[in-house]
Amino acid sequence: QVHLAESGGGSVQAGESLRLSCLISGYIYNRGSMGWFRQAPGKEREGVAAIDDDGSTSYVSSLKTRFTISRDKRKNTLYLQMDSLKPEDTGMYYCAASPRAFHMIAIQNLGHVPQSLLDSGYWGQGTQVIVSS
């Protein structure tokens, strides 16, 4: 059984940093992608960053200078380092894993998270991030 559990969210001031963690169990890492997504109140879920099995990363263009995705296979953990946070970064942050690779530029160009990923991917319950001005 695959299980993803996010942690590390919280309330911060604009300009501060947070590091989110996602502990993954029961998942085979040798294919597909893992990534971070977020959903602001009243808005659709959107992509943030992804990492493939070979370690290559992709980001939504507007976030790549401030956010960094990484993983530690030994700890079965996915991370998202978020720096210089802005109030518009407020939202619920989700980690996801899928045996089918996904790329953030493709998701950005599509304009929404593919339904196939929402339906067939593995998702955590989310961790809340609130950034105050």
pLDDT in the model for residue 29: 63
Specify whether the CB–CB gap between 97 and 30 falls below 8 A: no
Q: What is the pLDDT of residue 31?
A: 78
Cα Rg, the chain, nearest whole Å: 14
Residue with tokens 């993983």: 71
Whose structure tokens read 């619920």?
92
So what's the pLDDT on residue 27? 76
Map residue 64 onto helix, strand or coil: coil
pLDDT tens digits along 63-73: 999 999 999 98
Residue 18: what residue type? L
- Give the pLDDT confidence score for residue 1 in this predicted structure: 87
User: Tell me: the pLDDT tens digits for 5-49?
Assistant: 999 999 999 999 999 999 999 877 667 899 999 999 999 999 999
